[in-house]
Structure 1
Amino acid sequence: MEGKKKIVIGLLGESGSGKDTVAEYLREKHGAKLMRFADPLKEILHIFFDKISREDQQWLALQLRERFGRDIFPKALKRRIENESGIIVVNGIRFWEDYDFIEGFDPGYVIYVTADQKVRWERSSKRGEKSDDGADFKRFQELEQSETEVHIPEIGEKAGFIIRNEKDLNFLLEETDRIMNEIANK
């Protein structure tokens, strides 16, 4: 997938599913440029806090969507994507507007990375990236009921590609390569 052709790939997945691992692998192996729908949220929150929680990001996302429109995050990324070439990976699809935004590119692909909730909780509790990563299983389940999270499985069913990430890292990376080969041959 060399050259200047633009390929936009959106990643979708619940917390702990492995979507960040896929994004990083696409950057390292396939030279993708990484962007996140949540980048503006993190930038805002890091002005005030050293460590941010998923709950804080969820709250701020809802406030911004309510005040500035449901498509505020796609709008924030549109210019950045238009000025790029090659493979662009946009991580963190959470809403139908995000999905439609990615699908609107020619070509635009969506990859859904998912796993059993208990498996995802175990992964999240070990990583310690966000202040609520150490939450117990009940709290993890509650966080997944946020408006920013509940649509993910439903949107994921519409994705062009699905990775059920319940095996090892090698499986996840092989599935990612398989999908990239399929995209390259379209």
Structure 2
Amino acid sequence: MKKTIIGLVGETGSGKDTVAEYLRDNFGAKLMRFSDPLKDTLSIYFDKLSKDDQAWLYEVFRERFGDDVLTRAIQKRVEDIDAELVIINGLRMPSDYEFVHRFPDSKILYTTAPSELRWKRVAGRGEKTDDNIPFEKFQELDRRSTEVHIPEIGGKADWKIDNTEDLEHLLKEADKIMEELGIERKEL
């Protein structure tokens, strides 16, 4: 079976999780995130996770084990998974981009939106302990070492979705990409 790998890159609140879940629910995609090893580690100690804690832990891991620590952590998962479509969500570093392109039939999708719109979305979802923060703090998080390469990686993406419209528009853009790849909707 041909395996298509799509690496999803996008700033916090840009819609990448929504796209990933849509592709899982409608096209049978298997999902994984570069942050899964961080979340797995932190969830041993805490019930609710913050983006700040994940960024801190990544820095500790990266300093100790190298820039590609998270890519090495998920490589075997990608190789072993039996699926036509695999979504690797949360590319953040140039090494993440390179990792996705190690696989044949790999593509990159960039979702983006203006900072203030993303902040409003994040504040409304309450997913992480630091979601409901002032706009200035949100902008600070956008400048963390874990976030600064996102626009650069997005600039090299095969597709870009400017997620400034409604949910219907975002999902139609995802449908167009699946059509271009020849991946059909699944009855799940």
> What TM-score bracket applies, with the shorter chain setting the length?
over 0.9
Deviation at 1:62, TM superposition (A): 1.2
**TM-score, scaled to structure 1:** 0.96
**TM-score, scaled to structure 2:** 0.95
Q: Distance in 2 between matches of 1:79 and 1:169?
A: 33
Q: Distance in 2 between matches of 1:81 and 1:52?
A: 24
2:186 matched to which residue of 1?
none
Report the 3-state secondary structure (helix = DSSP H, G, I; strand = E; otherwise coil) of the residue aligned with 2:88.
strand
2:172 matched to which residue of 1?
174
User: What does the per-residue CA deviation read over 1:59-118, in whole Å, with 9 as the maximum and x for residues that have no partner?
Assistant: 111111111111111111111111123100010000000011111211111100000100
Moved over 6 A (4+): none
Report the 3-state secondary structure (helix = DSSP H, G, I; strand = E; otherwise coil) of the residue aligned with 1:48.
coil
Of 121-130 and 73-82, the range deviating more from structure 2: 73-82
1:24 matched to which residue of 2?
21
> Which of 61, 66, 78 is 1:64 aligned to?
61
Q: Tell whether 2:9 aligns with 1:12.
A: yes
2:115 matched to which residue of 1?
117
Report the 3-state secondary structure (helix = DSSP H, G, I; strand = E; otherwise coil) of the residue aligned with 2:44.
helix
Q: Distance in 2 between matches of 1:54 and 1:158?
A: 25
Q: Distance in 2 between matches of 1:62 and 1:184?
A: 39
2:86 matched to which residue of 1?
88
Deviation at 1:126, TM superposition (A): 0.2
Q: List gaps (5 residues or longer) in structure 1.
A: none
Report the 3-state secondary structure (helix = DSSP H, G, I; strand = E; otherwise coil) of the residue aligned with 1:59.
helix
Q: Tell whether 2:81 aligns with 1:78.
A: no
Q: Distance in 2 between matches of 1:26 and 1:53?
A: 25
Report the 3-state secondary structure (helix = DSSP H, G, I; strand = E; otherwise coil) of the residue aligned with 1:163.
strand
Deviation at 1:8, TM superposition (A): 0.6
Q: Distance in 2 between matches of 1:26 and 1:141?
A: 29
Deviation at 1:184, TM superposition (A): 2.1
Q: Distance in 2 between matches of 1:73 and 1:180?
A: 27
Deviation at 1:14, TM superposition (A): 0.4
Residue identity opposite 1:126 in structure 2: G
Q: Distance in 1 between matches of 2:137 and 2:92?
A: 20
Q: List gaps (5 residues or longer) in structure 2.
A: 184-188
Residue identity opposite 2:97 in structure 1: Y
Residue identity opposite 1:43 in structure 2: D
Q: Distance in 1 between matches of 2:107 and 2:27?
A: 15
Q: Distance in 1 between matches of 2:32 and 2:24?
A: 11
1:97 matched to which residue of 2?
95
Residue identity opposite 1:45 in structure 2: L
Residue identity opposite 1:120 in structure 2: R
Of 73-82 and 21-30, the range deviating more from structure 2: 73-82
Q: Distance in 2 between matches of 1:183 and 1:86?
A: 11
User: What does the per-residue CA deviation read over 1:36-57, in whole Å, with 9 as the maximum and x for residues that have no partner?
Assistant: 0000100111111111110000
